[in-house]
Structure 1
Amino acid sequence: MSIDKHYDQSLDPSWILGQVHSAYPAGADLFQLTPLDQLHIGGIKASERLLRHLDLARHHHILDIGSGAGGLMRQASAMGFSMIGLDITHRFNQLNLGLNDCFSVPVSNPIITGDAHHLPFADQSLDLILFQHSFLNMPDNSRVLSECWRVLKPGGTLLMHEVVCGPQPEQMRYPVPWAEDAVHSHLVTAQTLQQQLQQAGFANIRLDDWSDEALAWRQRQLQKEDAGHVGRAALSPALILGSRFADMGKNLVLNLEAGAIRVIELVAARS
């Protein structure tokens, strides 16, 4: 199964958008859309923490690689930033565009169906590139980093909120939201990622481990799910991930607890 099929096998944009319109006929705000469009560990608060690195004076051309349902893009838009979204899963892009129309504030961000291994942008054309739980699906991550270096302007920023391989990879349990099994889970250690960035030409690499906060957040989410709150909510990750979501959510907690995965923020500069 290709990676786009992993994500779109349970994804019906038209039906999901109908659910959103039914629940919020006057338009949904950021927090109301969060269970649907902020599928990464940490939710909207993690995105808020990540977006503090953006600067309106410097970052005018921004690319979100693996933009998915577009929650990060709409959150950034509310802060005054315009982003380009790129995702290999076309149905995700259809959903992203549709959710823009469901949002309580008009949003018009360009969205491209494309592959991060072959970025459709000119050399030195972007100020900042974001990855949020998407680099882990890249089979040739060195090629992806090389492409990022190519399209970033000198001094441009690479910003990541990513899952990496932990100290106990043998404890890894599947499925997880980004993969049914190890075939599409391309986790590297934080140390390897830093080495790959240096080899690609990036410098001033700064890494912050968010794993403790990520585990605490996911444990709280799991308690809500076990209590049935998610099932009763107007919107839920299960609308996108289907019946697999229950096992995926539990496995995230087990993987974090066992040290199979870590969650990091990473910032690097294009030399």
Structure 2
Amino acid sequence: MRFRHYKQQIMVPFIAYITVLVIGLASGTNNFCPADGGSTYIFTVKLNINRTGHRIVSVNMEHETPFRIENNNETGLYITHSSTTCGKKERIELSTTAVIFEHLRPKRPDYEFFPGVGYYKLHTWGRTWDDARATCLEEGGHLLVINSEEEADVVRKFFSRNPSFNNVNDPLYGAYIGVTDRDEEGKFVTVTGQLLEDTGYTNWEVGEPKSDRGQNYVAVESHARMHDINNGKKMGFFCEIE
């Protein structure tokens, strides 16, 4: 499920008031019976938003716990429960108040958010593949692993802006991504440990990859097609934060 991304780091309070009336039917009088006490429950709802804008919710219920919000990290669903018996009819009333605070992920100002996909950055200053990988890790992400056509479209959009590359050996081959076969020739593995064929995206340029032990790293060009690149070349590179 996808949700709207908020551009600023803010706290969004969401408060819902719900009243539910449940009546257990049996023979007896229809007269209204006043509540004569009841029990209190609390549902604790923990809500996190990950780096791709998805919400992750966990819920816990406790019985007869006083409701309180001790700090901005506490979220709850407060339920009061009362029941009465008139003759042989039991009346149960639940009154519910939900209070949810959403803490939204701060966005790195140098990464661009693509809704429903993630955060990405194209580095235009050329580095070797290993240096590019280290740079992405320092920024809290990793070299891009393309898992879908949506992510391939991210690559195409960056290139459509005609970026200017510097300190590169061959700008025609685009920018490095997180795929290599340096451990075993022809066995392409991502920086996240996946086999390339398991990523969902294997769009090679015609004639690629080459069976060449001197070409162990993968780059993508403007149409998001992949090439294996000579070792040691300095290229631009894509980073992503998940």
TM-score (norm 1): 0.23
The structure with higher relative contact order (CA 8 Å, sep 6+) is 1
Max Rg structure = 2
TM-score by length of 2: 0.25
Structure that is richer in helix per residue = 1
Larger strand share, 1 or 2: 2
